[in-house]
Amino acid sequence: MPGSFFSPAEAELIEAAKRGDGVAFADLIRPHYQSAFKVAYGMLHDSSEAEDAVQEASFKAWRRLGNLRVGSSMRPWFIAIVANQCRGVSRSRWWSVTKAQGLDGQVPSVDIAAAVDVRRALLRLRHDERLIVVLRYYLDMPFEEIATTLGITPKAARIRVERAVHRLRPIVQIQGAAV
Amino acid sequence: MHDESLMFNRIHDALDAPPPAGAYERLRTVLIKRPVRPRWSPALPTRWSNMGFRLAAGLALVALGVAIASAIVAIHSASINTVPATHRMSVAAYQKMVESDGPNAPAVWTDPCDTVVHTGCEADAGRSIPLLQKWLDDLTHASTPARFAVVDAEMRQHLTQGITALKSLIVDSRAHDDAAMTRDYIVALYNAEWTSTVVPGIANSQQVDAASYVALVRSETRTLDACGAACGFTSTSADCIHSDGITCLYYFDTVGESFAGYQSDIVKRAAPDSLATKDARLQGDLSRADSVLLTMRLAVAAGDQVGFNAGIQQLRGILAQLDQDSAAITGG
């Protein structure tokens, strides 16, 4: 699992961030920014909303930094906060029309149309199912790290991935055959 | 293995997008400009004392119990025709009303709103309150069709709680009371989430025959039992009070969605008259679970381990009761 223990440099940054040092906290999350953005984008399918969600989640993570235990891993902890932030954003949309119809303004081609289908299928999954698909197949997380992120056992993580894939499989297989 | 690699490829094809140029640098600038002092455990302290919280939670449970009991009596009365059908609102009219009121109320929210950092909270709450109030007034003045008696009582309870929480949110936002806002937001969000899950069930509700209803209850019970075994604190001892709360939020959402989703489904595919009383009992127990989950969330906010543990025990009891309700319907 990546970063299971804080390095001395990381521990120093954490201490400084706990004292309110913004530069230290920014440096602390820099290695995880890409993953955090991918999770947010995978959940929300909108670049601007994903950037905003990561920003809000970063502040929440900073406020909760005192709860990050020595010996725990930074990435799953931060990713979990981002995922919960995305849940909040999704709720604030509620009945609003989702933005899955286009890909940030591009003109759909055949490949893009296929991608849109997968994205629509993802949006039809419940939040927790979508999250587990994003963690497994977009962030390429091993089951152990998914389990740490979600606070479940690796076995439960595997079962949930299988369930979510079961719901997505028809669409993905149709596309697999078509391409 | 082929399936795995196909899934990797398709998801990457569908989602791969780099962060917008300069995104991290923008975040870094904002973090430096708006420094934060991390909180310490309990993660979400509030100004409520544990005793005050338990008293409020107890009163809420009693109120909900009375509402549900009244609803069950109403259903029973309806089934023996003591109330002329012409005096009740039609199912279609009720559905139209809920469908019209429901989506308006929460759609005004623009931001998650649990701290003073979110400056739009007050305005959002101010816009939302009259919409929720109108919805509540409409429900109060309607003569609810028997089919929706239980869910209607529960919905009015949620709306009342939501309005109270939003009013507090405005007061606490003006007082720059971060912790109290968090508590208000938990209540407002929980209520909004519940209504957003259940309203589609009401809007699309159709009475089905006994066989379809029994099959639905059997399937929903299996799903709920699976959740009881795997969704978190109904089967394990989660340390929600002293942890960072992330795992617990996940548990709350999964378990909450399971109960509310079940209720939405059985409202959508409504029981035939012959099973109405048993259906009301089932919905009543789902309502109790819903109420317990809210009190557990508030217990986490208050740092109240005893209240949280009591909630877990209650949830386990309700799951067992739901199994009995289900058996009474399915005959198994």
Number of folded domains that form chain A: 1
> Across the interface, do B244 and A64 touch by the CB < 8 Å criterion?
yes
CA within 13 Å, CB half, B288: 22
Q: Chain B partners of A156 at a C-beta cutoff of 8 Å?
A: 230
Q: Give the Cα separation of A92 and A97 in Å (integer).
A: 12
Could you tell me if residue A56 is inside a domain?
Answer: yes
| Of the candidate ranges A37-51, A62-76, A137-151, the one whose mean pLDDT is the lowest | A62-76
For A:68-107, CB contacts with B below 8 A are: 68, 77, 80-81, 84-85, 87-89, 91-92, 94-96, 104
Q: Chain B partners of A48 at a C-beta cutoff of 8 Å?
A: 20
Q: Chain A partners of B102 at a C-beta cutoff of 8 Å?
A: 95
For B:182-201, CB contacts with A below 8 A are: 189, 192-193, 196
Nearest to B30 among A55, A168, A172 (CB): A55
Could you tell me if residue A158 is inside a domain?
Answer: yes
**Which DSSP string corresponds to B204-260?**
T-EE--HHHHHHHHHHHHHHHHHHHHHSSTTTS---TTTS-SHHHHHHHHHHHHHHH
pTM: 0.55
**Which DSSP string corresponds to A26-91?**
HHHHHHHHHHHHHHHHHHH--HHHHHHHHHHHHHHHHHTGGGPPTTS-HHHHHHHHHHHHHHHHHH
Each residue of A16-33: pLDDT tens digit? 888 888 899 999 999 999
Q: Does residue A17 sit at the B interface (CB-CB below 8 Å)?
A: yes
Our measurement of the distance from residue B235's CA atom to the centroid of its chain's CA atoms, rounded to an integer in Å, reads: 20
Q: Does residue A125 sit at the B interface (CB-CB below 8 Å)?
A: no
In the 8-state DSSP scheme, what is residue B148? G
Could you tell me if residue A1 is inside a domain?
Answer: no
Give the CATH number, domain containing residue A78: 1.10.1740.10
Q: Which domain holds residue A108?
A: 8-178
Q: Give the Cα separation of A89 and B7 in Å (integer).
A: 26
Could you tell me if residue A70 is inside a domain?
Answer: yes
Q: Does residue B12 sit at the A interface (CB-CB below 8 Å)?
A: yes
What does the pLDDT profile of chain B (332 residues) look like in tens digits? 457 788 888 888 888 888 888 899 999 988 887 766 554 333 333 333 445 445 555 655 566 666 666 655 555 555 444 444 445 789 999 999 998 888 766 545 555 555 555 567 788 788 889 999 999 999 999 999 999 999 999 999 999 998 999 999 899 888 888 778 777 877 887 888 788 778 888 988 999 999 999 999 998 888 777 766 556 665 555 566 665 445 566 667 667 777 888 898 899 999 999 999 999 999 999 999 988 988 887 787 777 888 888 888 898 889 889 999 999 999 87
Distance from the Cα of B108 to chain A's closest Cα (Å) equals 8
